[in-house]
Amino acid sequence: MQIDGTLAPSYAPVREKLTQRFRREGSGFALVVYQGGEKVVSLSAGVQHPTCTPFTVDTQVMAFSVTKGVLATLAHVLVDQGVLDYDTPIAHCWPKFQQSGKDTLTLRHVLCHESGLYSVRDLIDDPEALMDWDYMIRKLTRAAPLHKPGKANAYHAITYEYLLGHIIELAAGQSIPHLVKSLLAEPLGVPGLVFGREGVDPLHCSDLVMRSGHVLPFQRQSVRRRLLMKLLRSSFKLTPATFEDFDRAFWLQGMEQVHLNDPTWGAAPIWSANGFFSAEALAKLFAFLVSGPQMGQPFLSEKTLREATRVHNTSLGRVIPIPLNWRLGYHRTFGSLHLRDAFGHWGLGGSSVWCDPQRNLAVAFVTNRTDITGFGPFLALNRIIVKCADLHLAPKSVLHQHAVGQ
């Protein structure tokens, strides 16, 4: 697979690693890295689906849970503006929410996955209901937490979008897509940051693909799915968490029938998954978090950024039985032991964004493949990126970029 683009000389090993690990024909990916506010890597390969036009750093793809990290960033902007507060009970702006033991639940609990409202299966029994925003809000209004808010963490795989999204819309008085455009995309110059497929230029949008031809790696009759479920069940036996919590947070009967490339699904207000992002937009957004002053535009105040990126819990999660070291909407970054302070968010299939304050580093990888094994290659890639970042002497070396794939 030919890799096109540019990169700083000190990042040359990144291209070699990409060549070794990402060879699947018929899919595409893009990698963008900023360091010290300057772009040091801008690489892409493969094709968009189904047009087979080249996949570029501006190609937008449904990035699954990476959407959560962008939604959290929007919340921090509103905290900075005084529109939201981390510790004011949610019932202050959502009065009916205080029922069923939720009177003390705060934005902080929601952002670091401590609200106890992670079970989508307790709310609905049909995935079609996920597209009905008002219905989901009514369900969450009446729902009771599965644990006392703040006493445990459990990844809110699907319910996160409705909780955080409704809080934001109530406080700001505008829709999530409009707020993302007006508070993030336009002022930061990142047009490839869109919530909902309807707002994406079709020429820059790729459908999702998978080696099996399916969109989700969880088809009921799939051998891969049966092996994956067996592995997951076994892994939970080694932790205090239970597979039941994982299942109730992620899965609904009939989910295997959902076709994520369907325009109706892509346009639905599912803000845990329906962010259509380019690698360029994600990397630049997170570069502003760690290098705002160097980029001539401080993004968040020092106070808000410090609180947003402070680790809030380090315990095993009830849904994902590993310590994700939740910040406020961001989790730890994997792939290197030297990323203690790094934070970001990953999505199904391998699309991800993260940044490291110590290195003034921001990294975004976007792919149209949905194979769950996509995480493995990216872990190896992260190790190389960290080594290259440590060798990168100064932002000025970016001026000496050289072309690749020519």
Residue 223 burial (CB count, 10 A): 9
Q: Report the DSSP beta bridge partners of residue 46.
A: 28
Of 14 and 228, the structure prediction assigns the larger pLDDT to: 14
**3-state SS, one letter per residue, for 226-246:** HHHHHHHHHHHCCCCCCHHHH
* DSSP tag of 146: S
Overall average pLDDT of the 321-331 stretch: 95
Tokens of 76: 């921090």
Secondary structure element (H or E) that encloses residue 343, with its range: strand 343-346
Q: How many Å apart are CA 174 and CA 172, to the nearest integer?
A: 6
Work out the percent of the chain whose per-residue pLDDT is above 70. 89
Overall average pLDDT of the 22-33 stretch: 84
Lowest mean pLDDT among 190-204, 253-267, 331-345: 253-267
Tokens of 217: 């790696």
Does the structure show a pLDDT above 60 at 218?
no
Assign 276 to helix, strand or coil: strand
pLDDT-derived band at 379 (thresholds 50, 70, 90) equals: confident
* DSSP tag of 309: T
Per-residue confidence (pLDDT) for residue 171, from 0 to 100: 97
Using alpha carbons, select from 336, 340, 342, 346 the residue that is nearest to residue 385.
336
Contact criterion met (CB below 8 Å) for 335 and 379: yes
Q: How many Å apart are CA 123 and CA 135, to the nearest integer?
A: 10
Per-residue confidence (pLDDT) for residue 79, from 0 to 100: 98
Per-residue confidence (pLDDT) for residue 211, from 0 to 100: 57
Overall average pLDDT of the 311-324 stretch: 92
Does the structure show a pLDDT above 90 at 207?
yes
Q: Report the DSSP beta bridge partners of residue 45.
A: 3, 29
Per-residue confidence (pLDDT) for residue 372, from 0 to 100: 62
Q: How many Å apart are CA 301 and CA 296, to the nearest integer?
A: 14
Of 370 and 103, the structure prediction assigns the larger pLDDT to: 103
Measured CA angle at 18 (ends 16, 23), to 5 deg: 120
Overall average pLDDT of the 197-224 stretch: 73
Q: Which amino acid is at 244?
A: E
Using alpha carbons, select from 31, 118, 68 the residue that is nearest to residue 330.
68
Does the structure show a pLDDT above 60 at 403?
no
Delineate the domains of the chain, giving CATH numbers in brackets: 3-70+180-404 (3.40.710.10)
42-80 pLDDT per residue, tens: 999 999 999 999 999 999 999 999 999 999 999 999 999
Per-residue confidence (pLDDT) for residue 394, from 0 to 100: 47
Residues 100-113: b if buried by 16+ CB within 10 A, e if exposed: eebeebbbbbbbbb
| CA 10 to chain centroid | 28
Of 258 and 28, the structure prediction assigns the larger pLDDT to: 28
Per-residue confidence (pLDDT) for residue 393, from 0 to 100: 52
Overall average pLDDT of the 151-157 stretch: 96
Q: What is the mean pLDDT of the chain?
A: 90
Of 336 and 396, the structure prediction assigns the larger pLDDT to: 336
Q: How many Å apart are CA 281 and CA 73, to the nearest integer?
A: 13
Does the structure show a pLDDT above 50 at 367?
yes
Q: How many Å apart are CA 17 and CA 277, to the nearest integer?
A: 23
Q: Report the DSSP beta bridge partners of residue 353.
A: 345, 364
Tokens of 220: 């009921």
Q: Which long-range contacts (CB under 8 A, 24 or more apart) does 21-29 make?
A: 21/377, 21/380, 21/381, 22/377, 24/211, 24/369, 25/1, 26/209, 27/209, 27/367, 27/368, 27/369, 28/54, 28/55, 28/59, 28/206, 28/367, 28/368, 29/55, 29/365, 29/366, 29/367, 29/368, 29/369
Question: Can you list the positions of beta strands (E) in 115-258?
Answer: 193-195
